Amino acid sequence: MNAAYRAHRGYRAYAPLFYQMFGHAGSRRTLLWMSGLSAVIAVLGAWLSVAVERAAEGGAVLCCLAVVLFLWIWSSVFVSTAMLQNHPANACLVPHLRRRLITACVALFVAASVVLAATVSAFFGHFGYALAGAGLLIPYVLLAQRFPYLAMLPVYAPLLSQLVPVAWSDGLTASLASIDESTLSLLGIAADIGLLAWGLSIALPRGGDRHFAMSERRTLWQAAGKDPAALRELQRRGVWRWGYARVLRRDSLRAGAPGIKMLHTMGTAVNGGSAIGGVVVCAVVGVLAAFSGISDRKIVGPLTVFDFAQGMMLMSISSYAIALLSAAVAHNAEQGLYRLTPGAPSARDLNRVFAKTVVLRFLKIWLVVLAGLVALDCARRGSLEVRAYPLALASLTLPFVCLLLPDYARLRAGPRWGVGVGLPVALILGYLFFAALAARHPGFPWLVPAGLIAVCSLLTLWVKWTSMIKLPPAFPAGRLAA
């Protein structure tokens, strides 16, 4: 009886953590939707690895990436919820709270590591190595909560790893090959446990002044895109991006140009400078890799440095679309103030001016991406002859412009998880299909799919445009949301 009572008390102690994860209907639907998407990708990858001999390796990698996506989604929500539970006030007042949260995170670490290692070893073998590598997932999620820039590490790490001299990587591989698998796996697991302990101490600190200071700093980073006071505070701390501030001053002094000013009322990410900068960086790195002869070196599975640079360019467009839709409602206070200014468009013309500005900004970024893809293709082939293949790749992102003209007045607040996951996944699958088609059929007429996608996107854009012109004024975004 006492054991059952203690078990019941233990469940009640963890109940707030799980209720905060699954109690909200919107969060629950989002988690289930993204989990279903991960399951579909995993099934597709498993089928490719078994049914299609040429795509066996790619299918296995796709299945493993789907499991990583699933575990990353749930562990990120779990860790974020645990950090909310470990609020500085709660950490000081609630007995044993931190111990319970750490226990839950350790259990998550063990379960996620075993599941991911079992999946990877089912395709590639070497369970020990897989377990040592899988153990990095939860420490990474914990550390990314404290260091926001680590969120981009999985994106750029494969590309940066190719910049390491071959002699260094060969020497490291030779030294590790002299150690047997069990010993090396144990060393990796020990390193994972050390990183886990460090991550737990950072993400779930003890109550005190240090915890209050860390919570204030994290709140400031989260509010940087929403609260002007937070932006000024970040500027005083020296982390404000001077480039955007310069563009904002220039556009504020310009006479007219209401559409440009309307974009500024929707936050910093909508400006598009970061997307264009990312494309330029990827183009420079890809061209340098082509000139140095490492553009065809494999990073993950069959993907090369060249493929990675191309994919990152295409991702910049989807990132811009996601940023625009996610930040619209968060900045509706600035939008309401702008509508009171003399330079704001009239209610009759507001949607037309805004739609025109959004479409032109998207096309500007799209043209930069197209130029970068052409430069990469020419550098890789060592010829200035322009092919249609880069145009076909860029056409994959043209349908995204149709998503930028919804009914902004009825947009709901919060992140767009469906768009945030659906767009990159669809883009990755389309890119992999085009890349495989180009490898098997070098003389494929790429102008045909590019033209079909462009025509369909143009027709859909016309329908969305005419529909948006007839809708109530878009600003402030979310003002008619029920």
237 within domain boundaries: no
Instruction: Let me know whether 211 and 341 are in one domain.
Output: no
pLDDT of residue 1: 44
Per-residue pLDDT for 7 more than 50?
no
- Mean per-residue pLDDT, 136-143: 88
pLDDT of residue 362: 92
- Mean per-residue pLDDT, 143-159: 72
Q: How big is the CA angle at 376 (ends 370 and 378), to the nearest 5 degrees?
A: 100
Instruction: Let me know whether 202 and 289 are in one domain.
Output: no
Question: Looking at residue 299, what DSSP letter applies?
Answer: E
- Mean pLDDT for the chain overall: 77
239 within domain boundaries: no
**Which of 176-185, 234-243, 428-437 holds the top average pLDDT?**
428-437
pLDDT band at 22 (very low <50, low <70, confident <90, very high): low
173 within domain boundaries: no
196 within domain boundaries: yes
pLDDT of residue 120: 87
Instruction: Let me know whether 261 and 381 are in one domain.
Output: yes
Q: How big is the CA angle at 214 (ends 210 and 220), to the nearest 5 degrees?
A: 150
Instruction: Let me know whether 194 and 281 are in one domain.
Output: no
Spatial distance between the Cα atoms of 390 and 13, rounded to a whole number of angstroms: 56
Length of the chain (residues): 482
Instruction: Let me know whether 206 and 336 are in one domain.
Output: no
pLDDT of residue 371: 92
Question: Looking at residue 165, what DSSP letter applies?
Answer: -
Dihedral pair phi/psi, residue 299, rounded to 5°: -105, -65
Q: How big is the CA angle at 182 (ends 178 and 186), to the nearest 5 degrees?
A: 105
The answer to which of 33-47, 99-113, 315-329, 408-422 has the lowest mean pLDDT is 408-422
Spatial distance between the Cα atoms of 21 and 35, rounded to a whole number of angstroms: 14
Instruction: Let me know whether 293 and 200 are in one domain.
Output: no
The answer to which of 8-17, 126-135, 374-383, 465-474 has the lowest mean pLDDT is 8-17
Instruction: Let me know whether 208 and 90 are in one domain.
Output: yes
The answer to which of 54-63, 151-160, 212-221, 222-231 has the lowest mean pLDDT is 222-231
- Mean per-residue pLDDT, 122-130: 84
pLDDT of residue 367: 93
Instruction: Let me know whether 214 and 292 are in one domain.
Output: no
| Nearest to 43, CA basis, from 119, 110, 105 | 119
- Mean per-residue pLDDT, 135-147: 85
pLDDT of residue 256: 67
The number of domains in the chain is 2
**Which of 250-264, 287-301, 378-392 holds the top average pLDDT?**
378-392
Q: How big is the CA angle at 187 (ends 78 and 198), to the nearest 5 degrees?
A: 40
Instruction: Let me know whether 124 and 208 are in one domain.
Output: yes
- Mean per-residue pLDDT, 298-309: 68
Pairing of strands 298-300, 303-304: antiparallel
pLDDT of residue 39: 78
Q: Which residues pair with 298 in a beta bridge?
A: 304
pLDDT band at 110 (very low <50, low <70, confident <90, very high): very high
94 within domain boundaries: yes
326 within domain boundaries: yes
- Mean per-residue pLDDT, 344-370: 88
Instruction: Let me know whether 218 and 272 are in one domain.
Output: no
Per-residue pLDDT for 225 more than 60?
no
Instruction: Let me know whether 317 and 415 are in one domain.
Output: yes
Helix (H) or strand (E) holding 10: helix 2-22
Per-residue pLDDT for 10 more than 80?
no
Per-residue pLDDT for 455 more than 90?
yes
The SS3 call for residue 303 is: strand
Instruction: Let me know whether 478 and 418 are in one domain.
Output: yes
Question: Looking at residue 195, what DSSP letter applies?
Answer: H
Spatial distance between the Cα atoms of 154 and 283, rounded to a whole number of angstroms: 19
- Mean per-residue pLDDT, 351-366: 90
177 within domain boundaries: no
Q: Which residue has the tokens 């930028």?
A: 404
Give the structural domain span for 31.
Answer: 1-164+183-222
Share of the chain above pLDDT 90, in %: 11
Spatial distance between the Cα atoms of 263 and 232, rounded to a whole number of angstroms: 20
Per-residue pLDDT for 433 more than 80?
yes
- Mean per-residue pLDDT, 112-117: 91
- Mean per-residue pLDDT, 355-379: 90
Contacts of range 454-458, beta carbons closer than 8 Å, 24 or more positions apart: 454/395, 454/398, 456/399, 457/395, 457/398, 457/399, 457/401, 457/402
Residue 24: other Cβ atoms inside 10 A: 12
The answer to whether the Cα torsion of 459, 462, 468, 474 is positive or negative is: positive
- Mean per-residue pLDDT, 142-151: 77
Per-residue pLDDT for 238 more than 50?
no
415 within domain boundaries: yes
- The CA R_g of the chain, rounded to the nearest whole Å, is 25
pLDDT of residue 233: 45
Q: Where a domain ends, among 222, 238, 272?
A: 222
